[in-house]
Structures are given as structure tokens and as C-alpha cells.
Amino acid sequence: MIFAANFKTNHTRRSTELYIDALNKKLGAKSPEDKVYIFPPATALDSYEGDFTLGAQNAYPAHNGAYTGEIGLEQLDEFDIETILIGHSERREYMAETQEKVAAKFAFFQEQGFEIIYCIGEPLAIREKGFESVMKYLLAQFEGIDISYEKLIVAYEPIWAIGTGRSATVEEISSTHRALKKAINEKPLLYGGSAKPANIKEIISIAGVDGVLVGSASLDADSFSEMILS
Ligand code: PEP
């Protein structure tokens, strides 16, 4: 299983160091086949020791240049970062990242050989229209994305389940993952949306779920390690 922690705009460099120290003390007990990723804010990127992969929540698709407020490949290379989240619904919504921009970012980081966790998800209004509308919406988020890329991991994150405390139901996850798995040629597929210690066992036992992308419940090292060791 894959367990990925997305800190979003939480934690500082210092609190990330403390978090990693705390997590490392627990990770010795995880199964060797489980893989852990941590996506801290850009200011906490660094070279850390431990049985996990550090990734970037975002970066501008350029080596360097005049992109005020952004970081590029040069800043990621400093810490040997080769994993990135692309397409998160918060970036699509709050940072106005269009499918075209998301696809350009994907192409750039694919070209650099990055491992990409590519996020897709539908808003509540689409979910309420039914399964067919959900799949149509989700598949449109693969426009311009090379799904044959060997370092692609997809994260299905229904927007209405993100940060709301309300996870999708087992049936919603199961049917959506079944259809998505076919569409992405069986690439690893994570679920994200209010995954937490209380529901992790149920979620990771669903066929077609290869792991979880976790926001809120990953912010505390004990809570996240409880999920990993569940
Ligand atoms: C996320 O935003 O990637 C996420 C899954 O958040 P949460 O776990 O808080 O719903």
C-alpha cells in the first residue's frame, strides 16, 4: 500500500523536522512493501533521512527563471526531490490551474523523469448527477495526460470528501476505482478524501485501492503512523 501525507499549507520547517523524527520512530514497524510519501510545504523541503519519499506539493514547470513566488526544478534538485503532486483540486480551484496548465506541468515533470501523483476528483454537484456524469468528469481530467507514463500514480479525490470529515462510501470508492483502474491500465490508484485512522482499514481493503492520499489526518505523526501501521 501507498500512504501519502499532503501537509498543504501546514507545518513549518522546524515542525516538519519534529514530525519526521516522530514518524521515523514508528516506521520501523511498517511492512516493507508499504511505501510512504511526505509532501511538506515548499519552505520545509530539505534532505531528510528515513524510510519515506519526500515530494513537492507543487512547482512551476521550468528549471528556473522569472516566476515570482514559484519554485522550479533547480530548487527541487537541491534536495534530490523527484516526486510531485499535480492536479490537486485545491490548485485547480484556488490557483485557477486549468486542465491545459495541469497537462503542461505534467509533461514537464514527466520529461524530467519525476514520479507523479496525479490528482483527479469531481465536485458534489457532479456526484449527485450519477455515476455516468462522475466518470465523464473524471476522464476529462486525463486530457493531455500521458497515462502510459511508467512513473504515474493516480489519486482519486472526490472534492466533496476533501477536508470535510465525510469520506466517500465503500460503494462509491469501489465502483469509481473499478472504472478508473480500467481507464488507466491498472496504474496504482490512491483514494483521498477524509481518510483517517477510523476508516483506513475499510478503505484499503477495497479492491482497486492501492493506497491513500491523506490531508488532515496526516498532519499529526501519530495519526498518520497509526494509519500506516493499521
Ligand atoms: C487532500 O486534500 O489530498 C486530502 C485527501 O485531504 P483530507 O484528507 O483532509 O480530506
pLDDT at 165 over 90: no
pLDDT at 15 over 90: yes
Cα gap 173→33, rounded to integer Å: 23
Domains of the chain: total: 1
pTM (2 d.p.): 0.98
210: nearest Cα among 228, 180, 190, 184: 190
Cα gap 19→111, rounded to integer Å: 32
Q: What is the pLDDT of residues 171-199, one digit of tens each?
A: 999 999 999 999 999 999 999 999 999 99
Considering 11, 82, 157, 177, which one is annotated as catalytic?
157
pLDDT at 213 over 90: yes
To which residue does cell 520545509 refer? 44
Tell which one of 194, 200, 203, 209 to mutate to probe ligand 1, the residue whose CB is within 8 A of the most ligand atoms.
194
Categorize the per-residue pLDDT at 18 as very low, low, confident or very high, splitting at 50, 70 and 90: very high
pLDDT of residue 137: 98
pLDDT of residue 53: 98
Task: Provide mean pLDDT across the span 113-126.
Answer: 98
Q: What is the mean pLDDT of the chain?
A: 97
For residue 191, report the distance from its CA to the centre of ligand 1, in Å: 9
DSSP code per residue over 124-186: HHHHTT-HHHHHHHHHHTTTT--TT-TTEEEEE--GGGTTSS-PPPHHHHHHHHHHHHHHTTT
pLDDT of residue 167: 87
- Annotation marks residue 177 as catalytic: no
Task: Provide mean pLDDT across the span 113-134.
Answer: 97
Helix (H) or strand (E) holding 53: strand 53-54
Q: Determine the atom of ligand 1 nearest the C-alpha atom of 192.
A: 5
Cα gap 3→213, rounded to integer Å: 6
* Residue closest by Cα to atom 7 of ligand 1: 215
Decide whether any atom of ligand 1 lies within 6 Å of the 5 Cβ: no
| Cβ atoms within 10 Å of 224's Cβ, excluding its own | 24
For residue 196, report the distance from its CA to the centre of ligand 1, in Å: 10
Q: What is the pLDDT of residues 44-57, one digit of tens each?
A: 999 999 999 999 99
pLDDT of residue 166: 85
Indicate which CATH number applies to the domain containing 68. 3.20.20.70
- By residue range, what is the domain housing residue 73? 2-228
- The terminus-to-terminus CA distance of the chain in angstroms comes to 11
Q: What is the pLDDT of residues 73-107, one digit of tens each?
A: 999 999 999 999 999 999 999 999 999 999 999 99
Q: Which amino acid is at 118?
A: Y
Burial 13-26 (b: 16+ CB within 10 A, else e): eeebeebbeebbee
Q: Determine the atom of ligand 1 nearest the C-alpha atom of 6.
A: 3
Q: Determine the atom of ligand 1 nearest the C-alpha atom of 167.
A: 10
- Annotation marks residue 88 as catalytic: yes
pLDDT of residue 194: 96
Q: What is the pLDDT of residues 128-159, one digit of tens each?
A: 999 999 999 999 999 999 999 999 999 999 99
